[in-house]
Amino acid sequence: MAKAVNAESGGPKGQASLSLRKKFICRAHQICYMPKNKKVRVRFAPSPTGFLHVGSLRTALYNFLFARQKGGDFILRIEDTDRTRLVDGATECLLKILTTAGLDWDEGPMSNGKEKGKFGPYIQSERTKIYKKYAEKLIEKGQAYHCFCSAERLEKLRETQQANKLPTMYDGLCRSLDKSVIAKSLKENQPHVIRLTVPKEGNTNFNDVVRGAVAFENKLIDDQVLVKSDGFPTYHLANVVDDHLMEITDVIRGEEWLSSTPKHILLYQAFGWTPPRFAHIPLLLNPDKSKLSKRQGDVAAEDYLKKGYLPEALINFVALLGWNPGTEQEIFSLPELIKYFDITKVQKAGAVFNVEKLNWMNGEYIKKMAVDELVKKCLPYLKDANYDLDKIGKEKLEKIVRLEQERMKKLTDLPLAVEFFFKEPQYDAKILVWKKSLELIEKENLANGPTLWPMRVALSGREASPGPFAIAGILGKGETIKRLKIALNLLCGK
């Protein structure tokens, strides 16, 4: 893996001369900045290899906000060149989630199977002829080469390098193959890949919008595979070719792609193209500061939506993972996020994904919803609980939802919280009486709270519930008296 060095020191250790530092910094600026008067075009380019990670949702959001703020275009591109990891239905799922979240794209594939935009196709597996053409151009220019090394040789090379504590990278055996050998091998259809010819001297430098000046030592950058033995391009070639042909001006992506950036810049240079601006946003972390992963909880955006988190709350929450407007405000509508978002204020350090904070924020959105709208959103969860909604009626259902609205954190909280309205409660005699005996309550003339405790439990079967009079108002006189009698008989041992 390529190793980043301080662009102002010129290497991992020691200080470079002032002239060298200036050279690096100037070169970085020269490489990375597109003309300022060019229309902003950004892209979100997920791979349909499974669920849409909440980190990917944040990446999509930041690209969307940046494009809308700058009056630019937000492009959706599906990067499906890794055929071994494709998951059926993944593309349709991510299209649905982006739509649900309100992140409408200007160009790209649509849910109806069609595309919009003049730079298509927007699905990489449909662009293989384009990549092949550009790979051949690099070979003609001496910027790439055919590699016929077997998987066995590469594995032995890796093991040897690891044993000697060396960077695991290709040793360049096929870089200088004779043309006649290459021609013969190709004629015999020998399995091969195409690799980028990476210069082994100097540094590759760029200025990242989030991280500032960054440099990588070229000697530690692998001769990256551009075209695999199955004829499909790797992420690196397809990414650069598509970004250029689709006129992408700004690449906003996760920190995990930072080490790939020098390879991409070298590809831009090999083609003679101007690279876009780069902004690498921080990783999402668990509360223990480990990388957010499914081993410690949900990481799929779809899972959070299924669990009753509102899309607007989830969007608000992920927007603040690594960025804040510099004020105390925490609740933002999508138009407000478009107005205030600033990519230059995104932090470098990893952002902790705090589920408790998400619960609070989701609860705030629920509190502000109109009751009829909240009822509609809760209906699927109530139906899943097999409650007889027709029997209780629309008017009572709205009253029930209104009772719990202030306490709800997720839509999925509602079915269990209101179960006693649909089913007769199961009583525990121990909780029918408050901590103090009834005699003490009467003797001390205590307030309504303790006195009404048995009534609350009699109507709901629970220690914590809405007020007993509110419950009684919904249950009606007959059901209220019925439950009170059952509870009284239980108290009296009948």
pLDDT digits 0-9 by tens, 37-90: 789 999 999 999 888 999 999 999 999 999 999 999 999 999 998 888 888 889
Task: Report whether 102 contacts 311 (CB < 8 A).
Answer: yes
Q: Is the residue at 318 inside a domain?
A: no
For the cut 50, the answer to whether the pLDDT of residue 263 exceeds it is yes
Q: Which residues are catalytic?
A: 294
pTM (predicted TM-score): 0.87
Residue 294, pLDDT score: 66
3-state secondary structure of 400: helix
d(CA 299, CA 353): 10
For the cut 80, the answer to whether the pLDDT of residue 9 exceeds it is no
Residue 98, pLDDT score: 97
Residue 360, pLDDT score: 98
Q: Is the residue at 242 inside a domain?
A: yes
Tell me which of 260, 285, 310 is where a domain ends: 285
The pair of structure tokens assigned to 318 is 């992920």
Summary mean pLDDT of the chain = 87
Q: Is the dihedral of CA 101, 104, 105, 110 positive or negative?
A: positive
Task: Report whether 109 contacts 91 (CB < 8 A).
Answer: yes
Q: Is the residue at 381 inside a domain?
A: no
Inter-residue long-range contacts of 330-337, CB under 8 Å, 24+ positions, other chains counted: 330/361, 331/361, 331/364, 331/365, 334/102, 337/61, 337/65
Residue 441, pLDDT score: 47
d(CA 106, CA 128): 23
Q: 446: pLDDT confidence band, cut at 50, 70 and 90? A: very low
Q: Is the residue at 301 inside a domain?
A: no
For the cut 70, the answer to whether the pLDDT of residue 190 exceeds it is yes
d(CA 94, CA 302): 9
Residue 315, pLDDT score: 98
For the cut 70, the answer to whether the pLDDT of residue 483 exceeds it is yes
Q: 21: pLDDT confidence band, cut at 50, 70 and 90? A: very low
For the cut 60, the answer to whether the pLDDT of residue 430 exceeds it is yes
For the cut 90, the answer to whether the pLDDT of residue 117 exceeds it is yes
Q: Phi, psi (5° rounding) for residue 230?
A: -85, 0
Compare 330 and 432 and report the one with higher pLDDT: 330
Q: Is the residue at 229 inside a domain?
A: yes
Rounded average pLDDT over 124-139: 96
Among 169, 253, 177, 263, residue whose Cα is nearest residue 216: 263
Q: Which domain holds residue 86?
A: 4-285
Among 344, 343, 196, 194, residue whose Cα is nearest residue 265: 196
Q: Which residues line the annotated binding site?
A: 294
For the cut 60, the answer to whether the pLDDT of residue 383 exceeds it is yes
Q: Is the residue at 487 inside a domain?
A: yes
CATH number at residue 87: 3.40.50.620
Rounded average pLDDT over 340-345: 96
For the cut 50, the answer to whether the pLDDT of residue 308 exceeds it is yes
Contact partners, residue 191, CB within 8 Å, separation at least 6: 148, 150, 229
Cis peptide before 121 (omega within 30 of 0): yes
Residue 36, pLDDT score: 64
Task: Report whether 40 contacts 7 (CB < 8 A).
Answer: no
Tell me which of 252, 267, 285 is where a domain ends: 285
Residue type at position 59: T
For the cut 80, the answer to whether the pLDDT of residue 494 exceeds it is no
Q: 20: pLDDT confidence band, cut at 50, 70 and 90? A: very low
Query: Per-residue pLDDT tens for 205-250?
Result: 999 999 999 999 999 999 999 999 999 999 999 999 999 999 999 9
Residue 169, pLDDT score: 94
Cα torsion at 101, 68, 323, 277 (round to 10°)? 120
Q: Is the residue at 377 inside a domain?
A: no
Residue 27, pLDDT score: 39
Rounded average pLDDT over 85-99: 92
Q: Phi, psi (5° rounding) for residue 182?
A: -65, -45
The pair of structure tokens assigned to 74 is 């937000």
Residue 124, pLDDT score: 95
End-to-end C-alpha distance for the chain, whole angstroms: 76
Among 289-303, 351-365, 442-456, the minimum mean pLDDT is found in 442-456
Q: Which residues line the annotated binding site for ATP?
A: 294
Residue 442, pLDDT score: 52
Residue 493, pLDDT score: 66
Query: Per-residue pLDDT tens for 69-78?
Result: 999 999 999 9
Residue 204, pLDDT score: 96
Beta-bridge partner residues of 280: 253
Q: 33: pLDDT confidence band, cut at 50, 70 and 90? A: low
Tell me which of 253, 285, 317 is where a domain ends: 285
For the cut 90, the answer to whether the pLDDT of residue 15 exceeds it is no
- Split into its structural domains, the chain has a count of 2
Q: Is the residue at 275 inside a domain?
A: yes
Rounded average pLDDT over 329-338: 97
Residue 145, pLDDT score: 97
Compare 194 and 33 and report the one with higher pLDDT: 194
Rounded average pLDDT over 419-439: 68
Q: How far is CA 146 from the centre of its chain?
A: 36
Task: Report whether 55 contacts 286 (CB < 8 A).
Answer: no
Residue 66, pLDDT score: 98
d(CA 298, CA 306): 11
Rounded average pLDDT over 171-192: 95
Residue 455, pLDDT score: 81
Tokens 């059926």 found at: 88
Task: Report whether 85 contacts 49 (CB < 8 A).
Answer: yes
Task: Report whether 109 contacts 76 (CB < 8 A).
Answer: yes
Q: 392: pLDDT confidence band, cut at 50, 70 and 90? A: confident
